Amino acid sequence: MGGAVVEIIRTKDEETETVARAVYEHPLLVRLCHWLNAIALFVMVGSGLQIFRAFPSFGAKIPQKDLLNWPKAFAIGGWLGGALEWHLTFVWIYIATGLIYLGYQLFSGNYRQVLFTHRDLPGVWPMVKHYFFFGPKPPLHEAYNPLQKHAYTSAIALGVLSVLTGIAVWKPVQFSWLAWLMGGFHLARLWHFLVMWAILAFVLGHLVMVVLHSWNNFVSMLTGWKKDPEY
């Protein structure tokens, strides 16, 4: 699976040799949405933590027991009002890039590259053995291995959940049914917070894998083209 493929050739002394091959893995819209969404996510998390600092608890206001004292240096906005400005501005970029991405993936059929399905199940255990127990590397026949697909599919689901829980916190009256589904405003706020940490866990794993894998892999999210793919 994957995109268009080219052979990169070098001609010397009238002899042509293939020096590399490349595959177009990430269409432009996907790349744009990826980076815009990444920046928006960064701002959403930073400002969200500053908002959390205003009441760093999920219990009662009286008596208030703080969950943790998140340092101001690792938050965006300076104060609650500033953070809300950032949060309620970048949320539109976050949602728009998410929706454009999802729409494009579905419309183009490109979702098959990412979506984890039952067909990926048999490949999960060999991949786990390789990643965590020094097992042999299973051969790759498409852009993403089963664990990668699982991670990306989960991340997309978490993105949707972050928006839904956020709507319940922002509009617990107009979307009272949504807040009700989450156990009310009070718990919706907790789910919103937990979904953020789950997304951060994905981001951490994602960044580790980017560092561990080849430079070509990183470049492909910028130019779309992956040189010397494994498959």
Partner 1 sequence: MPKIVKPPTTRWKPEGRMSEGNFARMSRRELLKMAPVVILGAFAIPGLREPLLKKGLAVSDLASALLFRRGHLAPTFAESELTPFQKFPINGYDVDDPGVIFENWTLTVGGAVEKPGEYTLAEVQALPRMRQNTRHVCVEGWDVIGRFGGAKLSDFLTMVGADTSARYITVACADDYYETLDMATALHPQTLLCYEMYDQPLTREHGAPLRLSIPTKVGYKQAKYLTDLKVTNVVQKVGYWEDQGYSEFYGL
* Positions that interact with partner 1 (CB under 8 A): 1-11, 18-19, 21-24, 27-28, 31-32, 35-36, 39, 43, 51-52, 54-55, 57, 60-62, 64, 80-82, 84-86, 88-93, 108-110, 112-113, 141-142, 171-174, 176, 179-180, 185-186, 189, 219, 222-225, 229, 231
In the complex, least distance from residue 175 CB atom to partner 1, rounded to whole angstroms: 8
Euclidean distance between the first and the last CA atom of the chain, given in angstroms as a whole number: 9
Nearer to partner 1 (CB atom), residue 66 or residue 74: 66
Nearer residue to partner 1 within complex by CB, 165 or 189: 189
CA pair distance 163, 169, nearest whole angstrom: 10
Within a 10 A sphere around the Cβ of 217, how many other Cβ atoms?
Answer: 17
At 59, the amino acid letter reads G
Considering beta carbons, is residue 84 or 194 the nearer one to partner 1?
Answer: 84
In the complex with partner 1, the residue whose CB is nearer, 72 or 208, is: 72
Compute the least distance from the CB of residue 54 to partner 1, in Å: 4
How many C-alpha atoms does 91 have within 13 Å on its Cβ side? 16
- Within 8 A by CB and 6+ apart from 138, the residues are 123, 126, 127, 130, 145
